[in-house]
Amino acid sequence: MKLEFPKNFLWGAATSAHQVEGGNHNDWSEWEKATGNEESGRACDHYNRFREDFDIAKQLGQNTHRFSIEWSRIEPEEGRFDEKEIAHYQEAINVLRERGIEPFVTLWHWTLPIWVAKQGGWENKKTIDDFARYCDKIVRSLSADEAGLKSVAYWITLNEPEIYTMNSYLRGKWPPASPTSQGGPQKKSFFKFLKVYRNLANAHKKAYTVIHSTWVSDTQVGIAKNNSYFEGWLAPILNWGWNNWFLNRISQHQDFIGLNYYFHNRIKGFKLNQNNNKQVSDIGWEIYPEGIYHVLKDLKKYNKPIYITENGVADAKDIHREKFIKEHLRWVHKAISKGVDVRGYFYWSLLDNFEWDKGFWPRFGLVEMDYKTMERRVRPSAYEYAKIVKENGFEI
Ligand code: IFM
């Protein structure tokens, strides 16, 4: 039997600026140095090799691609926009369009310009206005269809606000937490967590309004939200707090929902993550494809188109990836058959890349990176994914 996906379904892969571009100077690069974390350095040198990478995406038949714009490149100092950097992203968009690939552009994927970090990052309400001004500049510039190519139609304002806020403020694991040698981590605070989370929701709302106030008519704006499948007695509370709170708050300000699905969480007694499934990725994350079905069913209530903006596995030997993709897609298909309006799937990630505090060792890519030579090698599972893309489905 063939599982067929809806006509015009979008198939692609995702990356983010700091994880692939190389040569970034922002709060993360400073934090990497200060804490002795592995440094993102030249990452995949995607900033210079994006043409080659988009050729690979095309060769794999992908018709969409998600990437992010690095705020610190665009506005290295407050109010000073770097036109050369804007032109760089315009070129990336043109190159995608020339290859028939629809861009999904993320405006903020966790890194901040140094001057924003210095004013307190998302703890400071001013950052909401600064972010809106940056979004306005970008959307106006990148909608300027000079080459006669279509402008960006899909904008993702924020990536995974809940993961960022949890790791940065509840766990004190990510910037702005300072290294122990400097008296940190000082930012670990439930109060700050709530404040930043609320500020991010307001930042999205403001950016949404600003983006829609440009002349571009067919623009779609959403966020990429990392939702988990919870089971157990605490599930309703966690579902509300983790999965729904942010989406409820911005419900009048989104045209689509981006879902990043990675986690299943069974709660037993007072213990989280009591998952029985022993199948795990290289970084110990449980592989639980069925969870995506439940999460999608829960999102149906928002009555918006859904794009799976991330789903992927760290698997250096490429032994799980093909099955991982097919199993998740099987459950996505089931959700579609139950009336959930899923319109696209982005595998995380196109390339192996810099996995934040873990450094480069986790290998999520459809394409393997040799970080010494910068050689790209397409993994066998990527060709299997390409078959699915070509067929708009697969046999089960
Ligand atoms: O690499 C990250 C990405 O930046 C955000 N979503 C989860 C991925 C895997 O951890």
Rounded to whole angstroms, the Cα distance separating 354 from 94 reads 25
Average pLDDT over residues 282-310: 98
Ligand 1 center to 245 CA (angstroms): 21
Share of the chain above pLDDT 70, in %: 95
**In Å, how far from its chain's centre is CA 111?**
12
Average pLDDT over residues 220-224: 97
Tell me what the pLDDT averaged over the chain comes to. 95
Q: How many CA atoms lie within 13 A of 224 on its CB side?
A: 33
Question: Residue 282: its pLDDT value, please?
Answer: 98
pLDDT band of 300, cuts 50, 70, 90: very high
Average pLDDT over residues 43-68: 98
Which residue's alpha carbon is nearest to atom 1 within ligand 1? Answer: 355
Quick check: 148 pLDDT over 80? Answer: no
DSSP secondary structure letters along 20-75: HS----SHHHHHHHHHTPPP-TTTT-HHHHHHHHHHHHHHTT--EEEEE--HHHH-
Q: Over the stretch 324-369, which tens digit does the pLDDT of each residue have?
A: 999 999 999 999 999 999 999 999 999 999 999 999 999 999 999 9
pLDDT band of 179, cuts 50, 70, 90: low
Quick check: 182 pLDDT over 70? Answer: no
Ligand 1 center to 212 CA (angstroms): 28
Ligand 1 center to 8 CA (angstroms): 26
Among the ranges given (2-11, 171-180, 231-240), the one the predictor scored with the smallest mean pLDDT: 171-180
DSSP-assigned letter for residue 242: I
Q: Confirm if 67 and 103 have CB atoms less than 8 A apart.
A: yes
Apex 64 CA angle, 289 and 264, nearest 5: 20
DSSP-assigned letter for residue 376: E
Question: Residue 94: its pLDDT value, please?
Answer: 92
Ligand 1 center to 190 CA (angstroms): 23
Rounded to whole angstroms, the Cα distance separating 275 from 286 reads 8
Apex 165 CA angle, 164 and 167, nearest 5: 65
The residues facing 394 across adjacent strands are 3
Rounded to whole angstroms, the Cα distance separating 144 from 200 reads 28
- Contact residues for 368 (Cβ-Cβ < 8 A; gap 6+): 318, 352, 376, 377, 378, 379
Residue count (the chain): 396
Ligand 1 center to 62 CA (angstroms): 20
Q: Confirm if 312 and 328 have CB atoms less than 8 A apart.
A: no
- How many beta carbons lie within 10 A of that of residue 122, not counting itself? 28
Ligand 1 center to 313 CA (angstroms): 10
- Greater confidence (178 vs 320) lies with 320
Atom of ligand 1 minimally distant from the CA of 110:
4
Q: Report, as residue numbers or ranges, the catalytic residues.
A: 310
CATH code reported for the domain at 2-395:
3.20.20.80
- How many beta carbons lie within 10 A of that of residue 102, not counting itself? 18
- How many beta carbons lie within 10 A of that of residue 257, not counting itself? 25
310 C-beta closer than 6 A to ligand 1 = yes
- How many beta carbons lie within 10 A of that of residue 65, not counting itself? 26
The residues facing 231 across adjacent strands are 266
Q: Confirm if 93 and 152 have CB atoms less than 8 A apart.
A: yes
Region of residue 207 (left: phi > 0; alpha: psi -120 to 50; beta: else)? alpha
Average pLDDT over residues 240-266: 98
Which residue's alpha carbon is nearest to atom 9 within ligand 1? Answer: 355
- How many beta carbons lie within 10 A of that of residue 117, not counting itself? 20
Quick check: 50 pLDDT over 60? Answer: yes
Atom of ligand 1 minimally distant from the CA of 355:
1
260 C-beta closer than 6 A to ligand 1 = yes
16 C-beta closer than 6 A to ligand 1 = yes
355 C-beta closer than 6 A to ligand 1 = yes
244 C-beta closer than 6 A to ligand 1 = no
Question: Residue 184: its pLDDT value, please?
Answer: 56
Atom of ligand 1 minimally distant from the CA of 353:
1
Question: Residue 185: its pLDDT value, please?
Answer: 54
Q: Over the stretch 364-387, which tens digit does the pLDDT of each residue have?
A: 999 999 999 999 999 999 999 999
Quick check: 240 pLDDT over 90? Answer: yes
Quick check: 219 pLDDT over 60? Answer: yes
- How many beta carbons lie within 10 A of that of residue 276, not counting itself? 8
Rounded to whole angstroms, the Cα distance separating 187 from 115 reads 18
Ligand 1 center to 355 CA (angstroms): 7
- How many beta carbons lie within 10 A of that of residue 52, not counting itself? 12
Q: Confirm if 362 and 312 have CB atoms less than 8 A apart.
A: no
pLDDT band of 177, cuts 50, 70, 90: confident
Atom of ligand 1 minimally distant from the CA of 109:
4
Average pLDDT over residues 259-285: 95
pLDDT band of 178, cuts 50, 70, 90: low
- Please state the three-class secondary structure of 282-349 as a single string: CCCCECCCHHHHHHHHHHHHHCCCEEEEECCCCCCCCCCHHHHHHHHHHHHHHHHHCCCCEEEEEEEC
Most informative mutation of 24, 174, 281, 310 for ligand 1 (most atoms within 8 A of CB) = 310
Quick check: 147 pLDDT over 60? Answer: no
| 3 state SS of 358 | helix
pLDDT band of 125, cuts 50, 70, 90: very high
348 C-beta closer than 6 A to ligand 1 = yes
Domain boundaries, the chain: 2-395
70 C-beta closer than 6 A to ligand 1 = no
Region of residue 30 (left: phi > 0; alpha: psi -120 to 50; beta: else)? alpha
Question: Residue 180: its pLDDT value, please?
Answer: 55
Which residue's alpha carbon is nearest to atom 2 within ligand 1? Answer: 355
Atom of ligand 1 minimally distant from the CA of 314:
9
Question: Residue 188: its pLDDT value, please?
Answer: 83
Q: Confirm if 41 and 360 have CB atoms less than 8 A apart.
A: no
Quick check: 214 pLDDT over 90? Answer: no
Most informative mutation of 173, 348, 351 for ligand 1 (most atoms within 8 A of CB) = 348
Average pLDDT over residues 95-102: 96
Q: Confirm if 318 and 282 have CB atoms less than 8 A apart.
A: no
* Tokens encoding 112: 């901040």
